[in-house]
Structure 1
Amino acid sequence: MKAKRKNGSSFALIARKGVGKTAVLMRLYNDLFTKQDEVVPFFITFAPYKDPAEKLTVTIFNEYYFTTVIKQYIAFRLRRPEMVEDSLKIDKLSDIAMKNGMEELDKWFTAYRELHDDSLEAVRRMVAQMTFYLMHKQAGLLIIDEFHLLTHVWDDVIRLYRDTTGVFQRPAEAKWCPMLVSGSAVSLTEQTVLTSVLARRFGLDYLEPFEENHTVEYVSKLALINHLIISDEVTSTIQTLTGGNPFYIWCLLHSQYLENNNLSTPEQLRKLYENEISQSKGYLRDFWDTHFSVYGDKLNSEDTVARAMSFLSIHPGKDIGTHDIAAAIGENNAKTRKILQNLSDADLVERNSLWRYVGITVPVLADYIKRVYKEQIEGQSSEEYQTFLYWKKLGSLNRRVGELAEIYLMMLMEKFKIYLKNSIILWILKCRKKIRNSIHSVICS
């Protein structure tokens, strides 16, 4: 997708947690690194800092960004891919650069060592100046994974959390080095690239779930690999249960609850699905347990939060006002707005406008909420009730399903061509035949 303005040549790819964006971006980086020599690729991920226990500070950001960019620049120039995975300190990187005739980097090592104040302004200057210098030497592509996490970085100088995404304002405008950023917190990432100081500098697109024909192909491949017996009827049912979500499909077809590698009837699939989403060892249950645990008290503090999630889960895709949600959960509007904000921050619900939200459209998430919180809310947890929910769901073949997919790399590369083919990356690099061939090989492999 091309940005709306000429100074907005960067691109943002958005999908929910666990989609597989990182795998795709790493594959793109690896191919750009190994299959061409005209454009320097940079890949920086902040995924480790999704864990609240890992505090991302301005100081950590400063060191991580500097060492990663310099290391990958040197590695690309020397054609040494093994350097990318090595943990190299500043002095070692400086030594490698000087021994290989890259004296032009010496001033950046000196500037970094003299950067005693780790203020945000100092970081801003370093990022802008160093990125501009390196990119003037050679065109590049700056890939940043989990970009939204940079909205919450601890600044020791003022003893507060800061939004540091603004440090990339000038790099985002560099036509010779577009940025490709990704984010799994949908609402926060949209806000970051659409309404902050980076507004109008990014094109924006989303990863969608598989269509039924892609699901059929994917299920067939997994069944062949895992030696599963599976019927066409079950394949269609899997599409309904998962909303065409490849990660969820993978979970079902790799489950320890599969009996005799046989999924020839919908009843066998029902039992498998129930175990996966209700048992602690199920992949589906574990995935959402982990996600909910990250947000702790915000999601598990009181029954009204559970009631709000339950209400939204039984109205998939419906546009619902805050007032209606407040009435349904028996809470005042102010408290309900706070609850909904927490759910939005946790990327569990989608805001439609200022005070309106969309009912949960991810089928597995909706089922997880119904099962995990049903007893807490209504005291209903019998197997008969869960069976009723299952068959009722399968009767709703045309309901709106998940907005975004949990994409498994094996099938995503084919879908990703839709976005990459029309993206600003190819627009920037259209005159470079080697890059075009490299990206084409990523898509078609």
Structure 2
Amino acid sequence: MSERVFPIEECMAYDEFTDRVELLRELETWIKNVRYKRSGSTSIISPRRMGKTVLLERLVNTVFFKPEYKVAPIYFGMGIEKVTLKAFIMQYIETFFRQYIAYCLQEPELYNASPISMKKLMEVETNNNDVKNAQKHLCNIISFIETNHYDSDINHWKHVVRLPEQVARSSDTYAAIIIDEFQEMKFTVYNTSDEKLIAYQAKGLLTDQAATDLTGSYRRMSQSRVAPMLVSGSAVTMIFKTVMGGPLGGRFGFRYVKPLSIPDGVTLLYHLIRIYRSDLSIQPEMAFYTSSQVGGHPYYLYCLVTSLFEQNFDSRDVIDTLIHYEITKGKIFGFWQTHFQSNRHYM
């Protein structure tokens, strides 16, 4: 039997997913209830490397194969790459319609088939009425952008940002808009031309302050009952202020993702050793000690198991030495350096 194709390639080994089952179940229920207009927009907040992204990826991979929910999971992963607003708009349109159509047709390969031309999406042959409705909206928005030449692309964005709600409202299949690292919409999109973007980058003038903050443009979308939002953020103070204050204040619920419990950290540690270091072994007492020393932090446990330091877990002294290496020279040290350096403007 061939291995099942998932719509999203998860960023960690399948067996590493530990102690998030209850939260995953809650989020699946949240998506299921979109169909009955019972789910308002919500957010997931946690520091980096707590498993937030893989939680969202597992959520998409779970609900995608449940067409009976009649709710398409639309996933946008925001990175730190600087782009023009025009390029972002086209990427946003392509992502939404590609993933929406893929869910309606139950085609996981299409869900992740990026980039794909708008023309190809409009030419998908089907008897599915929800897909036909989506294709009509896609044709209309592309025609609108091509025939309306504004001085600023922000005018196009005002129409594009509400597309998911408009499609869902006229369809039998609703949508759940999932945006990972939502706070990056404040700092990565620039309302300028490609030429100027390149020139500004070359001169070091592409500052965060010059970016176009798109988060406030979701004010209406965040209240939608047919296409509510699930956003995440790892710059905790920034994302909390973004979804709980300003234009979006009062429109989002929130869940805070904590480190694993110490026993679940032990479970993860055994999974990691089996996956990455099958030559190692660890006694239960030492596994509990290791998990407690790093507070059940999943990424720190991963760093200890995959450390370049010649390690074993035979005693507390050996484990302490391994932890000392990781926080002074290893991957944990590198994570702290890059994380705090790149997130100073969030603090």
TM-score over 0.5 for the pair: yes
What is aligned with 2:117?
89
The one of 113, 124, 134 aligned to 2:167: 134
Cα distance in structure 2, aligned partners of 1:207 and 1:219? 19
Alignment partner, residue 222 of structure 1: 272
Alpha-carbon RMSD: 2.9
Match of 1:255 in 2: 307
CA distance in 2, matches of 1:266, 1:171: 52
Q: Kindly tell me: are residues 156 and 99 of structure 1, through their superposed partners in 2, closer, same or farther at Cα, counting changes over 3 Å?
A: farther
List per-residue Cα deviations over 1:39-70 (Å, max 9, x = no partner).
121111112x2xxxx21332222111111111
Superimposed CA distance per residue, residues 94-144 of structure 1 (whole angstroms, 9 cap, x where no aligned partner): 33369987252322332233353343233122222x222211112221111
Unpaired segments of 5 or more residues in structure 1?
296-341, 348-445
Aligned match of 2:316 in 261, 266, 283?
Answer: 266
Count residues in correspondence.
286
Query: SS of the residue aligned with 1:229?
Result: coil
TM-score (ref. length: structure 1) = 0.58
Alpha carbons of structure 1 residues 74 and 278: separation in structure 2 relative to 1, 3 Å: same
Match for residue 240 of structure 2? 190
- Note the C-alpha offset of 1:192: 0.7
Aligned equivalent of 1:143 = 178
Answer whether contact 1:7 1:174 (CA < 8 A) is retained. no
How much does 1:17 deviate? 1.7
What amino acid is aligned across from residue 249 of structure 1 in structure 2? L
User: For residues 356-390 of structure 1, what are the alpha-carbon distances to aligned partners after superposition, in whole Å with 9 as ceiling and x for unaligned?
Assistant: xxxxxxxxxxxxxxxxxxxxxxxxxxxxxxxxxxx
Over the matched positions of the two proteins, sequence identity in percent amounts to 29
Spell out the pairing of 1:147-162 with structure 2 (5 A cutoff). 147-152=182-187, 153-156=189-192, 160-162=210-212
Unaligned runs of 5+ in 2: 1-25, 31-36, 198-209
What's the counterpart of residue 73 of structure 1?
Answer: 100
After TM superposition, list the pairs within 5 Å mapping 1:235-384 onto structure 2.
235-259=287-311, 262-279=312-329, 282-294=330-342, 342=344, 345-346=345-346
Give the distance between the partners of 1:116 and 1:88, measured in 2 at CA.
Answer: 24
In structure 2, the CA distance between the partners of 1:73 and 1:113, relative to structure 1 (3 Å rule), is farther
- Larger-Rg structure: 1
- Which runs of 4 or more aligned residues in structure 1 lie more than 6 Å from their structure 2 counterparts after TM superposition? 97-101
1:16-31 mapped onto 2 (5 Å cutoff): 16-31=47-62
CA distance in 1, matches of 2:148, 2:289: 59
1:104 to 112, 136, 144: 136
Partner of residue 119, structure 1: 153
Q: Tell me which amino acid in the other structure corresponds to 1:119.
A: D
Query: Partner of 2:76 in structure 1?
Result: 44
Cross-structure match for 1:388: none
| C-alpha contact (below 8 Å) 1:233/1:266 kept by paired residues | no
